[in-house]
Structure 1
Amino acid sequence: MILLSSIIETFETEFLERYQDSLLPSHRQALAAMKHCRTSHSPVMLAQCDDCESQRFVPHSCGHRSCPHCQQHESQQWLERQLQKQVPAEYFLLTFTLPNELRALAWQQQRTLYDLLIRCSWETVKAFTQNDPQLQGNAGAITVLHTHSRRLDYHPHVHLVMPAAAIDPNKRLWRTKKGQDRHRTGYLFNHQALAIVFRGKLLEAITLAGLALPDRYPQKWVVDVKSVGRGDQALVYLGRYLYKGVIQEKDIIACRDGQVTFRYRDSKTRQRRTRTLPGAQFLWLILRHVLPKGFRRARNFGFLHPNSKRLIRLLQVLLGVNPNQALAWLRKRPGLKCRCCGGDMRIVKTQMPPSSIRLAMSTG
């Protein structure tokens, strides 16, 4: 497996010379963090075995949310929180895509445009849920912003996972949506109608934010809607890119002659493909998806908001849903095992300088 830190080490100088005028502070911070993640230059932790008391040094991860090494535990915790909110309804995955003509504006005004993209996606499904004859109530949704395509090009879009259900706060009713006839199952809302409303809301929001729209942008926008059953797998897919960057190191398959090759799955054919780029360009492809500092990529709305925990629990009790069943198949975070006896190890000291290892070896 080719480590991203080694690619940064090889191409960093060329990358900084070529892209220095395009880099934001968040890009430089991510580059510095990932360069030293779990390397000989990173701080270390001291682990001790509970059985044989042998000790071992473990390098610290950098903790950056764009690093493919890090945040596995955080991703797991996020997924667990979402699965604990599952309700008895068919789930749908909706994807709201920003047209190509607006991507330059999004890049220049990332914090504003990303926020508007998320909020307008939610406002669109919220309005459709309130006006739907079968639902007529308040919706709930989980949204995750992605800025990349499978080829890692700049492609801002919002994934929204929502149950086909609503709560009527006035009549205190729980409603779910069924197929309109026996031949039409797995239907939530018309994707073309969603796209029209989403377009109007986002263009209006951009104008109200005081930003200038481009001279030309398309009349037809793209919104995709598909059924995802109970929603488990859709949440796993979203959680995969939530904290661990846009590429897994196992998909970096070559680094030679100044070129980096990675593989991806084509979204249309579902076939595996490869892409080869100069090393500096590959780093730019990765770093341009680093979000502004403090920006929340994942958000919950409506009755799936964190403030609605008691309401969700009440629904689960009344409707006979056991949230623990959804968590049963999740793999637990593997513990640190002793190399001598195979026992469990615990961390006894953290944030030690790398020189601690050399000092321990010299005195040992």
Structure 2
Amino acid sequence: MIDFNSVALKNQRIFYSLLFKAASETLQELALDKKYLGAQIGITAVLHTWGQTLSFHPHLHCIIPAGGLSSINQWIKSKNNFFMPVKVIAKKFRGKFLAFFKKEVLAGNINFYGDIDFLNDNRSYQGFIDTLYNKNWVVFCEKTFKNAFYVVNYLAKYTNRVAIANSRIVKVKNHQVTFTYKDYKDKDKEKFMTLHVFEFIRRFLMHILPKRFKKIRYFGIMGSRN
């Protein structure tokens, strides 16, 4: 079975928009539940599409205040363990994202071509969707920031980046590009990867966003309308 990333790469504008929609609705709806917070939160969401080796890995970074506004506009502080279990978030996000995705497919807005052309067959498509529902989707929650400085520092690192910084490129020679990367599966060790220049360019170009696509969005009490 193909990876969902193959579909995302061929339908970037819609796929990325669905990421924002599903993630923001998931977090806001769960936060309104009194079991977790019982308040309207705010979200600053930033889209990233790359992994350390320039692989295609679309995901969102979301910053949420440690609390929110009640129905009478009183501030409700988060519990000591903050917010809610990641498994709860993951299951709800999976359900929302796939529901939105299927709706776009029915509307004819998702294109299956090239190596995913077989998904135009109804049986293959349904098998693909069933596989996605049966997978455990991953949500990771960082520890809370100590103060506002750390929030600004985090945003500075993540909001205005491209797929790779010049400082990570250590050598370009004989049509080969060598760069550093962190291997998160090996205790964040710094390692080196060498790619043919055409492969390096191909990987880099995957992370150029659709024209005028907004990769930073605000929701809830962080939204400009509020």
TM-score range (shorter-chain normalised) is: 0.7 to 0.9
CA distance in 2: counterparts of 1:259 and 1:241, whole angstroms: 28
Within a 5 Å distance, the mapping from 1:128-277 to structure 2 comes to 128-133=30-35, 135-169=37-71, 171-179=72-80, 186-210=81-105, 211=110, 214-215=128-129, 216-217=131-132, 218-229=134-145, 230=147, 232-233=149-150, 235-268=152-185, 269-277=187-195
User: Is the contact made by 1:192 and 1:223 (CA closer than 8 Å) also made in structure 2?
Assistant: yes
Query: What letter corresponds to residue 172 of structure 1 in structure 2?
Result: N
Deviation per CA, 1:132-170: give whole Å up to 9, x if none: 33621211010001100112110111111101211113x
Deviation per CA, 1:86-107: give whole Å up to 9, x if none: xxxxxxxxxxxxxx83111111
Q: Alignment length, in residue pairs?
A: 202
CA distance in 2: counterparts of 1:280 and 1:231, whole angstroms: 42
Specify the SS of the correspondent of 2:207: coil
> Structure 1's 150 and 233: CA in aligned 2 closer, same or farther, altered over 3 A?
farther
Task: Find out whether 1:106 has 2:8 as its counterpart.
Answer: yes
Q: For residue 302 of structure 1, report the CA deviation from its aligned partner.
A: 0.6
> Structure 1's 231 and 284: CA in aligned 2 closer, same or farther, altered over 3 A?
farther
User: Is the contact made by 2:30 and 2:36 (CA closer than 8 Å) also made in structure 1?
Assistant: no
Q: Which of 217, 221, 226 pairs up with 1:299?
A: 217
CA distance in 2: counterparts of 1:283 and 1:265, whole angstroms: 20
TM-score (norm 1): 0.52
Q: Which region of structure 1 is more displaced relative to structure 2, 290-299 or 230-239?
A: 230-239
Aligned-residue Cα RMSD (Å) equals 1.9
Matched with 1:39 is none
Query: What letter corresponds to residue 128 of structure 1 in structure 2?
Result: L
User: Is the contact made by 1:164 and 1:177 (CA closer than 8 Å) also made in structure 2?
Assistant: yes
Matched with 1:119 is 21
User: Is the contact made by 1:246 and 1:286 (CA closer than 8 Å) also made in structure 2?
Assistant: yes
CA distance in 2: counterparts of 1:231 and 1:273, whole angstroms: 32
Moved over 4 A (4+): none
Of the two, which has the highest radius of gyration?
Answer: 1
CA distance in 2: counterparts of 1:283 and 1:115, whole angstroms: 25
User: Is the contact made by 1:166 and 1:176 (CA closer than 8 Å) also made in structure 2?
Assistant: yes
Specify the SS of the correspondent of 2:45: strand
Extract unaligned runs of 5+ from structure 1.
1-99, 180-185, 309-364
Larger proportion of helix: 2
Query: What letter corresponds to residue 176 of structure 1 in structure 2?
Result: K
Deviation per CA, 1:165-217: give whole Å up to 9, x if none: 11113x221101122xxxxxx43210111111000000000011124753532
Deviation per CA, 1:273-301: give whole Å up to 9, x if none: 11110011111111110000010000011
> Structure 1's 219 and 235: CA in aligned 2 closer, same or farther, altered over 3 A?
farther
Q: For residue 306 of structure 1, report the CA deviation from its aligned partner.
A: 2.3
Deviation per CA, 1:19-78: give whole Å up to 9, x if none: xxxxxxxxxxxxxxxxxxxxxxxxxxxxxxxxxxxxxxxxxxxxxxxxxxxxxxxxxxxx
CA distance in 2: counterparts of 1:220 and 1:276, whole angstroms: 32
CA distance in 1: counterparts of 2:222 and 2:170, whole angstroms: 39
